[in-house]
Structure 1
Amino acid sequence: MNLRSLLHIAFAVVASTALTTALCATAQAEDTIAVEQLLGTAQPGGLLANTAFLPSAAAGPAKHDFAGALRLEEITMGTSPASFKVAKVMGKDPRVFPAAKLSFFVQNGDLVPVDRDVIRLGSTPAGSSYWDVIVQPGRVWSEPGDGKWSRASFPFSLVHSIEGETHNGIATFLFNDKEVSKLRFQIVQQTAPYYIEDYFTAWGLASAHYEPGGIAQLASLKSDYGREVADRFPVADWSQLETRFGKDRLADFESAMVQDEVLVSGLVVDGTLYRKPCKSAAGPLPYCDATGFGVWSATKTLASGVALLRLAQKYGPEVFAAKVVDYVKIPAAHQGWRDVTFANLLNMASGVGFGTDKRNPNAAHDGYLEGNYSEWYEAKSVDDKVKALAKTPDFPWGPGEVMRYRDQDLFLLGVAMQSYLKSKDGKGDLWAMLEDEVYRPIGIHHAPTNRTIEQDGSKGQPMMAYGYYPTLGDIAKIASLYQNKGRFGAEQILYAPMVEKMLAGKGDRGLPTGDGNAFGAQRYFMALWNDRYDASVDCKLYIPAALGWGGNIVALMPNGMVGIRLSKNWVRNDAVSDYTGMANVANRLKPFCG
């Protein structure tokens, strides 16, 4: 573990819970934000209760339509803490809200963004802000006494294209046919960060300008949004599950995880996600089910694993044994990559990496952030990232023998899969294949993700190791596709024989990580962590799960249920990746065996 990680841990101990608790207590409660505040020049002094950004009990329909662009000016935010431990990252300021052009249209009272992908701002040379932006659907309405104005609000996330966290917020503005007010915003929730070491909240009033019209293919966008609404994963309040089964049977769902570090959690039962409240520093997070979350390395399962399983279904299982060097030129000074296969990379068993040669017992994270990790992490283009990972030395063992955690391996797998796809279809757009052939067929209409930053302005290579920003419903849909052995309706989307092997609860699948729990040793197989669990005296099995930095968990239960927990923890204690509480609850509701 490097110095940065140690500093993260030391800081998190004092910041993670106390700061969030204090901010919750100081958010001001207001029914709504006055017109004068949105038209004025005075900057806000702190957070408001999130309800101030939503329609009041007296609200009515919007008086105006909105179809055009909201052009925002850059502004230094008010923040808590007032200054950050790292003032600038790669020359950019994380306390600055970025200048942005955000286009929206209205359908059935919803304010719908035209661009739902990562909007690159801070990751470009322009401006002083560090942040890129993702925008999600909100609402339009009118309030009594607002005169000529209608109101709008929408959720958004501050992100950065080389990282994987989200800083989630809500914004509101007034509008009519010709003009808009300033944009009032606040950032009230986040997943675990990396370079920005502070847990922070922020607020501000940004100057805005309205540019009506200019939305191409508006009818098509509205039609697609209608299908998106129809395809939303069913979500119900956790209290309904308590009514159905009783509170006692649902107790300790998050295990020993500190509650102030849990953002949201839930359990998929019989095709419905029963969700607990979505926490933030200013009350329940508005638009929680429309918000994308930075799940970090859960991307490995939700994207990379899905992509390789789709290629196997489409072109045959031979892809698992395909050699990486046949599809990617790796400028390494050794032969360690010669026999590495696609499956080796998904198993994080390339036989290449930093760290010690000790393997009995193994330590999965041995060497993880060592060597030139920062050089690779900050490299912008796909070529520069491949050159950086090529500097990794060999281990004394070969591929497929020892599991060592490496983001570089999963990124390289993405590059190799894209090249493999191009050899088959002549295009080689891996993320488009995921969107067109997996995500959209199961009802995911937008899949924002980080990509490499290329000088020629092209879209870049999807990161695949982290950087996917799914909603809770998206996570439930992908997890349910796994649980259904890759089938959706009448269509077999993923390669079923491998999915069945990945979900098989018994047998020592995969490689030992050196970690474990009270029930036994943990293993890793095809982008899934497998924790031991004794459901009863005669029912001893493994439960596979996707895990992401900060305590993000997607657990695939043997009874078909899915446990989800999103968190913001930096301290890698036992609770961070412990999902025995989820397993206990699921096993109580429907026993795993018999």
Structure 2
Amino acid sequence: MKTTHVLSVLLMTSCMSSTQAEVIFYDGFESNTASGWNIAGNVATSGTQAIGNYALRLKQTASAWHTVSTQGYSAVTVQLRMAATALEANDNDRCIAELSSDGGQNWSSLIELTDGMDDASFHTASLSSAALEDNPNLQIRFRSQADDLGDYCWADEVQVTGTAGGLTPAPDIAVSGSLSFGSVALNSTSSSTLTVSNNGNADLLIGTISYPTSPFNVLADNCQQSTLVANQQCQIQVQFAPTQAGAVSDQLLINSNDGDQPVVSLAASGTGSQNPGGVDDFDPLSGNGNVSRSDLSFTTLSSGADPGSLVNFSAYALPANAAAPTNTFEGRLVLTNEATRGGFNEVKDSFRYTGSGDTTRKHLPEFDYHFVQTGSHLVPVERGMLANSHPEWEYILEPGRVWNENADNGYTRAALPFSLQQKNANCMHNGVMTFAFKDDGSITQVAYQIASETCLYFKADMWGLLGATYTPTPVANAQNIKLAHQAEVNARIPVKPISDLAVDYPGTQVANFSSSISSQHMTLYGLYIDGTHYLGGCQTRQGAYPYCEVLRVPSYSTAKSNFAGVAMMRLEQKYGNVMNQSIAGFIGACNSNGNWQDVSLENAVDMATGNYNLSGYMSDEGATHTNDLFLTEDHASKINYACGEYSRKATPGSTWVYHTSDTYIAGTVMQAMVKQQQGSSADIFADILRDELWKPLNVGQSSLATRRTYDSVAQPFAGWGLSYNADDTVKLARFLSIDNGMLNGQQMLDSNELNAALQRNSNDRGLTPTSGFKYKNGFWAKDMSADTGCSDLYVPFMSGYGGISIVLLPNDSIYYYFSDNDEFGWADAALESHNIRSFCP
């Protein structure tokens, strides 16, 4: 027998009525309709079970929700009733009534009915809370979570009451206006006024206001340290006065006593322009075009044969004296002869992919993509991981640059960074393309070169010249694509070279941030501290990679943290009681196996399911795992292997065994959960991680994708398959360790579980994979007590195959490196950060 779960709810058995309050909303479904309700799944009105003649019936997996405005009302109370029939315990069936006061971001359960409470009796709940008052977006939802056709949930007598006026006194800050200045001529100015209002019914106390720095300037401010009564306003006037060409960004922070939004952050951005009257002058160039080059000359691009060897990547870079582009690229770029032309040099091939003969792996995939130009930037229309028919490779295209050189005969030169990602895998091979074009569609050949990667088992150089066609044509939604790219560039964290750490923090031994990893195998590394991103690496076998800011690196198992762990904590915060849900209740393949009924989602994320063959580290991740989990392309094959390969050896939650298959199971469970909550089209990555977390964090567009199965299911892998650039790596880590899982003052991740994952709760450290390490909610941690002299100090980190670490340091700094020689060593870097600012409390 199970009992009802109630959160801050008064259970009542008497008939619902309100003699003192006004009815704001009521629905007893007596009209035999569900008018105004949003419906997903099998939902209808029915008289089979009802308080009066009709109630709302939910069958199997379904939901119905309604939005109610309580603006102008205080003492708001929500009352509702729910019943259930034919629920089964072994299927984890349940009927749920819940409430959201923040527009559906987070839900509180009022009633949860399970097996033993399914006798068709109506249970009643009532909730009163200050969060319900004066709320324009209160949402009420009923959900059924069941498998069989005979499982039913019944909802009835939904009532919202309140008292007009008499609101609980509270300030409510609102800010109108924008600090996005666009293009402004050098040595000119543009100003904008922000209006700060108190939309609440108590005094708004505005404290300190942090101003953006030059070239932004606050001209007037009658808001700081002021008090605004209800409906009162004040103004802040900000000026943008650029003296140098290029895009700049900063922020203005307003502190107040608004309990819901104590800090308001407003982004300030603008571009200093040589030619502000031009059609599009984003990130303008000021050189005269007098560029001297020995490699990839206009003659080579126009009429040369395949170059016989690699060149230094400086030939693909934006030169220091580049002039503003005089031609504009918008349309379709198609390459020819990819399958037959080009050079190839094998550096490492552990699995003997290639031999002395020609193979498809030695050539680029077919290339047929659209681009738009904004100022001196060339932006791919198609972003993320681009599936194609090539058997080994897929493209990830990055924004590049366009410029003029005097020797290019009136053509404009372009460079496009790109990566080849191995199909169904996560290795990244980084390259650049370059060509010259005119507005009329004239185009040279396209030179390309790959001379670096992040890949333990396959390293190779590729280069060549390919024929190309450029078809100028308007691109749908071009303006929004340009604006999105400009916003992405402006939102990047300020960057300095890693060597500047010794300047900004005297005495820092910068070498300690890279000395543990072989330099020839280091892709990139960096330290984020005090708002600045100190970036190192980006070296290739042919000099420095010229577009380090968009260099793409793989996630591998850091996705077990950034995807599986974060998604679970988001669902726990949003819906509650998801981590303890049974695997078998959501995955048929696991349910039929028999070893998963007592295994929870949290067990799977912790890789502590109790189901394994060999308990030694990585012992179960051999050839069978590779062939049946990683290399299969459809979801059914992957999940059948993950659920069926291992036998029960230990109690769930007691023994840590490294299994990527467990994380794949966790991702599958969470996909089922979010579909159950939000409808059949919902997606755990797109709707939860991407839209609710990563987009608000201003993660770059190419990172807003994940590897998926190549079938109609399109199941995201969860345990591998993401990709990052350096800026995105820092933003995702900063959100967790420095911002504590909060966005714009709102808690987005379950704080208890996040604190446990980050080793901030000594009573909930997780399991011990090996001496000196912990693993909790998909995150690793290393005991650094003896190293630092700090008491009981575990430092959390993410780890990825081949030599990848993202370390969430306890002094509000972040260290990361991406390498590919199976070298895992970040203690020296952590201790150097500890020397900058102590880890000890």
Of 151, 156, 164, the match for 2:426: 164
Of 329, 346, 352, the match for 1:66: 329
The letter of the residue matching 2:367 is A
Counterparts of 1:163-562 in structure 2 under 5 Å?
163-177=425-439, 178-193=441-456, 197-246=457-506, 248-316=508-576, 318-330=577-589, 334-356=593-615, 363-369=616-622, 371-426=624-679, 427-433=681-687, 434-446=689-701, 447-456=703-712, 460-483=714-737, 484-505=739-760, 507=762, 509-514=765-770, 516=771, 521-534=772-785, 535-562=787-814
Q: Higher mean Cα deviation, 499-508 or 161-170?
A: 499-508
> Residues 538, 242 of structure 1: CA spacing in aligned structure 2 closer, same or farther, 3 A cutoff?
closer
The letter of the residue matching 2:470 is Y
> Structure 1 regions of 5+ residues with no counterpart?
1-28, 357-362, 571-575
Distance of 1:475 and 1:225 partners within structure 2: 18
Distance of 1:468 and 1:568 partners within structure 2: 16
Counterparts of 1:95-114 in structure 2 under 5 Å?
95-114=362-381
Of 373, 392, 395, the match for 1:133: 395
Of 46, 55, 80, the match for 2:345: 80
> Structure 2 regions of 5+ residues with no counterpart?
1-291
Partner-residue secondary structure (3-state), 1:256? coil
The letter of the residue matching 1:380 is E
Residue 118 (1) aligns with residue 385 (2) = yes
The structure with more helix, counted as a fraction of residues: 1
The letter of the residue matching 2:720 is Y
Are 2:371 and 2:381, in contact at CA under 8 Å, matched by a contact in 1?
yes
The letter of the residue matching 2:468 is A
Distance of 1:247 and 1:257 partners within structure 2: 22
Partner-residue secondary structure (3-state), 1:59? coil
CA displacement 1:43-100 (0-9 Å, x = unmatched): 0112111111123333211111111111122234312228963229xx9721111112
Are 2:344 and 2:461, in contact at CA under 8 Å, matched by a contact in 1?
yes
The letter of the residue matching 2:837 is K
The structure with more strand, counted as a fraction of residues: 2
Distance apart, 1:475 and its partner CA: 0.8
> Residues 206, 247 of structure 1: CA spacing in aligned structure 2 closer, same or farther, 3 A cutoff?
farther
Distance apart, 1:301 and its partner CA: 1.3
Which of the two has higher C-alpha Rg?
Answer: 2
| Structural RMSD (CA) | 2.2
The letter of the residue matching 1:106 is Q
TM-score by length of 2: 0.61
Distance of 2:606 and 2:342 partners within structure 1: 42
Partner-residue secondary structure (3-state), 2:315? helix
Are 2:642 and 2:664, in contact at CA under 8 Å, matched by a contact in 1?
no
Partner-residue secondary structure (3-state), 1:584? helix
Partner-residue secondary structure (3-state), 1:200? strand
Of 814, 821, 824, the match for 1:569: 821
Are 2:560 and 2:778, in contact at CA under 8 Å, matched by a contact in 1?
yes
Distance of 2:348 and 2:671 partners within structure 1: 42
CA displacement 1:132-158 (0-9 Å, x = unmatched): 000001100011121131110011000
Partner-residue secondary structure (3-state), 2:452? strand
Distance of 2:345 and 2:671 partners within structure 1: 42
Distance of 1:92 and 1:431 partners within structure 2: 35
Are 2:348 and 2:460, in contact at CA under 8 Å, matched by a contact in 1?
no
Distance of 1:58 and 1:32 partners within structure 2: 16
Partner-residue secondary structure (3-state), 2:793? strand
Distance of 2:545 and 2:633 partners within structure 1: 33
Q: Higher mean Cα deviation, 394-403 or 163-172?
A: 394-403
Partner-residue secondary structure (3-state), 2:416? strand
CA displacement 1:418-449 (0-9 Å, x = unmatched): 11000001032112121110000111142254
Are 1:310 and 1:494, in contact at CA under 8 Å, matched by a contact in 2?
yes
Distance of 1:83 and 1:237 partners within structure 2: 30
Are 2:498 and 2:510, in contact at CA under 8 Å, matched by a contact in 1?
no
Are 2:599 and 2:609, in contact at CA under 8 Å, matched by a contact in 1?
yes
Are 1:297 and 1:547, in contact at CA under 8 Å, matched by a contact in 2?
yes
Distance apart, 1:354 and its partner CA: 3.0
Tell me the matched-pair count: 537
Distance of 1:99 and 1:375 partners within structure 2: 28
Distance of 2:641 and 2:532 partners within structure 1: 44
Match of 1:148 in 2: 410
Are 2:347 and 2:461, in contact at CA under 8 Å, matched by a contact in 1?
no
Distance of 2:610 and 2:832 partners within structure 1: 38
Percentage of identical aligned residues: 26
> Residues 538, 291 of structure 1: CA spacing in aligned structure 2 closer, same or farther, 3 A cutoff?
closer
TM-score by length of 1: 0.86
The letter of the residue matching 1:512 is T
Are 2:610 and 2:652, in contact at CA under 8 Å, matched by a contact in 1?
yes
Are 1:175 and 1:181, in contact at CA under 8 Å, matched by a contact in 2?
yes
Distance apart, 1:349 and its partner CA: 1.0
Are 2:380 and 2:399, in contact at CA under 8 Å, matched by a contact in 1?
yes
Counterparts of 1:570-585 in structure 2 under 5 Å?
570=822, 576-585=823-832
* Higher relative contact order, chain-length normalized (CA < 8 Å, sep 6+): 1
The letter of the residue matching 1:431 is F
> Residues 372, 547 of structure 1: CA spacing in aligned structure 2 closer, same or farther, 3 A cutoff?
closer
Distance apart, 1:255 and its partner CA: 5.0
Distance apart, 1:30 and its partner CA: 5.2
Are 1:31 and 1:56, in contact at CA under 8 Å, matched by a contact in 2?
no
Are 1:249 and 1:589, in contact at CA under 8 Å, matched by a contact in 2?
no
Distance apart, 1:214 and its partner CA: 4.7
> Residues 214, 345 of structure 1: CA spacing in aligned structure 2 closer, same or farther, 3 A cutoff?
farther
